[in-house]
Structure 1
Amino acid sequence: MDKTLRLAFYRIIKTLMRILYRKGVALGDFTQLVKQAYVDVVEQELARGGERVTTSRVAAITGLTRKDVAVLREREATETSQRYNRGVRVLTGWLHDAEFVDASTGQPAILPFRGEQGSFERLVQRYSGDMSNFAMLEEMKRIQVVRETLDGSSVELLSQVYLPQGDEGEKVALLGLDVPLLISTIDHNLTSRNPQDLRYQRKVSYDNLPIEVLPEFREFVQHDSQQLLLRFNAWLYRHDRDSNADIKGTGRMQAGVGIYYFEQPVDVEKDAKHED
């Protein structure tokens, strides 16, 4: 492993280790996950290249024993994103589907809980799959996205962002959804030979800012980024076949844009140590 690649992976792993340390994950569990991921990737890449996928071949590439590879090939990683994705779909429908938008203001309407047309019940049925109206309402109330009116007959949208607030488990699940998307974009740009095919990947940062200016910058970022994401969201909604059955075309692709805010203290001595 060359110096640049080693430093890049050290920084990624170090950040992940803070989460694993806080969650009490032992090094052995992390190592097992690394082995599983490596075996899965080698299998996928061999199959994509039209090569025969065998335990011996995977073992030779990864450096693992044939016994370890055989066991790992029988296992599958699990994902816990279903509830989050359903909530996002319901929120998106509320923001853009004309049936659930106030025609006079263009804003999400206050919805009666029940009804065959323009109700919260109808919204959930259309966008959440088989999740019940009551379960979705409780979930959205729990993360403070909606509230019921005083008489309990209607539901009002409080936020245009579906983000878990109190459940750390759900926030960790987002780690497994969002970080891989960023890394896959960087990986694509590393391997793409066509300059026209590069995916958008930019950031702006300064490293000598006083702490006192950060609250103003956080507020500025939150407001402007949210407005930009809402515009992107509206465009994607119009072109997604789950939202618009009239959209024609081939294949099934996922596309989007992620924006994140970061701040951290600058430790010049430690950065210099690992760059030597």
Structure 2
Amino acid sequence: MYKIDTINTLLAASTRILTPLIRLLLRYGITYAAFSEMSKKIFFEVAKNDFTLAGKKQTRSRISTITGLSRKEVTRIESLPQKNSTLNTTGINRAARVISGWVKDEEFQTPEGEPANLVFEGETRSFTSLVKRYSGDITSRTIADELSRVDAISTTGNGLIKLNTHAYIASSNEQEKLTILGTDVCDLIKTIEHNIHNPEQPHLQRKVAYSHIPHEQLAQLKTELTQIAQSSLEAMDKKLSQYKTVNKNTDKSAEYCRVGVGIYYFEGEQK
């Protein structure tokens, strides 16, 4: 059993996590009843999948015991139709990979090492060949439309495709930003969970923050920090790409992992 101080600390941390999330839910008209029902389903699924006893099949009684849900409630949730709650990040990931390839692949760079302006069609050194290499079976027109939508590319006077940014940045599309909320916050919490239970092999988790920053200097500071962060991300992207296996079918016995590093900026009132 965990000490009461540990439980209270976790509950306090959960309160801080849930406060901005619930503020966001209320802004979108999501009520406590809807949140409560969703929470019950998640408690059920996590208990069912992650808290089984070795060599034993998970039972309704055990799920009820560790979640606090009644057996009747467990049975009701178990009988509900399964819904696919997986966040659709395909478009985001494919577009980001195309930009990353454009930035780091020498075939699509100028002699100075900058992303080159590309013709749209062509077997080599074209936008179509770039998309084919880094986006798989998604058509070049689809990727072009997505990158145009977020102002990541534009067309020059002579019809070439120009890269306007070295990173895929979510547009004002709310659904896209909410999708990123689900993936990025989940990744951070998983990292912290790993570090709590695996202190001998922790994942990278760092943060730097200062108080007493004058408001009139925030704009300049934010610009400078963004430039530093962007350079760091591009360096890490290049390093990650060196380890990525292009064709997963080359070794069917190999195991693969999803690996990444995230950076975010925050600001708030002085406390």
Answer yes or no: same fold by TM over 0.5. Answer: yes
Name 1:274's counterpart in structure 2. none
Task: State the match for 1:227 in structure 2.
Answer: 231
Unaligned runs of 5+ in 2: none
Identify the residue that residue 80 of structure 1 maps to in structure 2: 88
CA shift at 1:189, angstroms?
0.9
Show CA shifts across 1:135-171 (max 9, x none): 211110110100012243x211000110112211101
Structure 2 vs 1, CA of residues 258 and 109 (structure 1 numbering), >3 Å: closer, same or farther? same
Instruction: Write the distance in 2 (CA, Å) between the matches of 1:8 and 1:38.
Output: 18
The aligned counterpart of 2:18 is 13
Of the structure 1 ranges 249-258 and 159-168, higher mean CA displacement relative to structure 2 is found in 249-258
Q: Distance in 2 between matches of 1:244 and 1:155?
A: 30
2:244 equivalent in structure 1: 240
Deviation at 1:132, TM superposition (A): 1.7
Q: 1:208 aligns with which of 189, 206, 212?
A: 212
Name the residue aligned to 2:170: 164
| Counterpart position of 1:57 | 62
Q: CA deviation at 1:231?
A: 0.5
Residues 210, 51 of structure 1: alpha-carbon distance in 2 compared, 3 angstrom cutoff: farther
Supply the distance in 2 between the matched residues of 1:97 and 1:83 (Cα, whole angstroms).
Answer: 21
1:95/1:108 contact within 8 Å kept: yes
The CA deviation at 1:70 is 1.1
Deviations 1:92-149 (A, max 9, x none): 11122222222x1111111110001111011112222322211211110110100012
Bigger Cα displacement from structure 2, 230-239 vs 2-11:
2-11
C-alpha separation in 2, matches of 1:48 and 1:93 = 45
Q: Contact 2:107–2:125 at 8 Å: present in 1 too?
A: yes
Q: Is the 8 A contact 1:36 1:72 kept in 2?
A: no
Q: Contact 1:241–1:247 (CA<8 Å) still a contact in 2?
A: no
Q: CA deviation at 1:216?
A: 2.0
Are the counterparts in 2 of residues 40 and 73 from structure 1 also a CA contact under 8 Å? no
1:25 alignment partner in structure 2: 30
Change over 3 Å in CA distance of 1:247–1:160 after alignment to 2: farther
1:272 alignment counterpart: none
Q: Is the 8 A contact 1:113 1:120 kept in 2?
A: yes
Q: Which amino acid aligns with 2:125?
A: G
2:52–2:58 CA contact under 8 A, matched in 1: yes
SS at the partner of 2:51? helix
Which structure 2 residues correspond to residues 114-263 of structure 1 after superposition, within 5 A? 114-152=121-159, 154-194=160-200, 197-242=201-246, 250-263=254-267
The letter for the 1-side match of 2:79 is V
Q: Structure 1 residues 110 and 50, CA, compared in 2 at 3 Å: closer, same or farther?
A: farther
Residue 70 of structure 1 is matched in structure 2 by 78
Q: TM-score w.r.t. structure 2 length?
A: 0.88
Partner Cα separation in structure 1 for residue 81 and residue 211 of structure 2: 45
Give the alignment partner of residue 50 of structure 2, picking from 17, 25, 45.
45
The 1:244/1:95 distance shift into structure 2, 3 A limit, reads farther
Determine whether 1:100 maps to 2:108. Answer: yes
Q: Secondary structure of the equivalent of 1:111?
A: coil
Q: 1:117 to 1:189 in 2, by over 3 A?
A: same
Instruction: Quote the RMSD (CA, aligned, Å).
Output: 2.4
Structure 1: give runs of 5+ residues left out of the alignment: 269-276
Structure 1 residues 92 and 60 mapped into 2: Cα distance closer, same or farther (>3 Å)? same
Give, in angstroms, the shift of residue 76 of structure 1: 3.9
After the TM superposition, which of the residue ranges 232-241 and 16-25 deviates more from structure 2?
A: 16-25
| 2:120 equivalent in structure 1 | 113
Asked whether the equivalents of residues 39 and 73 of structure 1 are also in contact (C-alpha less than 8 Å), the reply is no
In percent, how many aligned pairs have the same letter? 33
Q: Which amino acid aligns with 1:148?
A: T
TM-score in terms of structure 1 length? 0.87
Cα distance in 1, alignment partners of residues 116 and 251 from structure 2: 26
Letter in 1 for 2:194: H
Task: Report the CA distance shift for 1:138/1:146 in structure 2 as closer, same or farther (over 3 A).
Answer: same
Shift of 1:208: 2.8
Per-residue deviation at 1:52? 1.5
Residues 96 and 237, structure 1, Cα contact 8 Å, conserved in 2: no
